[in-house]
Amino acid sequence: MESTGPNPIHCRLRVGVDILRVIRRMLKEWSGVCCKQQRKPNVIQVTDLHFAYPASGFRLHIDRFTIGQGEQVALIGPSGSGKSTLLHLLAGILVPDRGSIVIDGTELTALSETARREFRISRIGLVFQAFELLDYLTVLDNLLLPFRINKAVARPRDAVARASQLADELEIADKLKRFPGQLSQGEKQRVAIGRALITEPALLFADEPTGNLDPATKKHVLHFMLNIASERGVTVLMVTHDHGLLDRFGRVCEISDFYGKTAESTPTGEMLSESTGRP
């Protein structure tokens, strides 16, 4: 004989699940309220950003993306998903097709190219995977380079002292008179970090800065970068492929590779964008 009526055990379980869902929702809302209360003012605010490389068919759309002041955020995603493109858009190197990018209270899309360069050199420090140091300048001259290439950042009187202090913190103080060709990979990247921070920017954008480093060195360099940035209250956004480094960041955001496929990452990630193709 088969029973046709509702199974009392099943009914109780369903009620239990519903109760748990309600509790979870309440917890979620409560945690959201707490997060909002703790969240610092946004230093990066992206709204309805559209960008495309017509030749390759690559498109990037970010509905909304914010980073709070002093946050250290890792940006991950598959190759060609647009991580570096996003970084370049945020730095004002690329210009979006439409949408809004507000960096440190300035609407970037409203600025002329000259103004964007001036804004970039004074407010944003950039670190690249290939270090991109000038091989014919000494470490000291490389550190001081931002003061020499745009009149928007006047060279302070204590520029050399500031460079020496940075070099000291980055443990390259004894390499100031050397040329990049005489340095190890890790040292080169530390010089690049120093160059990015010499102007005391509000933001530090790093595009896979550990990509060319061996595992031991990359942790070392990352440690330097995040610590110094933290001490100076600099907001960090770093593009990386290396999932082993993500636990060093306060937040990890993943950018999807395919149409609408997005993923949320731990511990406090958020859905970021839609993109297609490769830049």
Q: How far apart are CA 143 and CA 198, in angstroms?
A: 7
Cα separations in angstroms, 172 against 73, 146, 155: 26, 18, 21
Name residue, tokens 């068919």.
57
CB of 130 to other proteins, least distance (A): 8
- Please tell me whether residue 154 binds other proteins under the rule CB under 8 A: no
CB of 121 to other proteins, least distance (A): 3
Binding range to other proteins, per CB under 8 A, among 17-25, 115-123, 157-165, 271-279? 115-123
The angle at the Cα of 41, spanning 40 to 46, to the nearest 5 degrees, equals 120
Q: Which position among 100, 106, 109, 122 is part of the footprint of other proteins (CB under 8 A)?
A: 122
Interacting positions 20-79 with other proteins (CB under 8 A)? none
Q: How far apart are CA 51 and CA 68, in angstroms?
A: 23
Q: Which position among 66, 69, 150, 217 is part of the footprint of other proteins (CB under 8 A)?
A: 150
CB of 88 to other proteins, least distance (A): 8
x/- track of binding to other proteins for residues 230-269 (CB under 8 A): ----------------------------------------
**DSSP secondary structure letters along 225-242:** HHHHHHHHT-EEEEE-S-
Q: Which position among 114, 165, 227, 230 is part of the footprint of other proteins (CB under 8 A)?
A: 114
Q: Give CA 67 to chain center in angstroms.
A: 9
Q: Which position among 12, 40, 50, 148 is part of the footprint of other proteins (CB under 8 A)?
A: 148
Name residue, tokens 């004074």.
122
Using the CB atoms, write b or e for 114-143: b if 16+ within 10 Å.
eebbbbbbbbbbbbbbebebeeebbbbbbb
- Residue 28 corresponds to which tokens in the numbers above? 């979620």
Binding range to other proteins, per CB under 8 A, among 46-54, 61-69, 104-112, 113-121? 113-121
Q: Which is nearer to other proteins, 170 or 196 (CB)?
A: 196
CB of 31 to other proteins, least distance (A): 39
* Residues contributing to the site for other proteins (CB under 8 A): 91, 93, 114, 117-122, 124, 126, 128, 132, 134-137, 141, 145-153, 179, 195-196
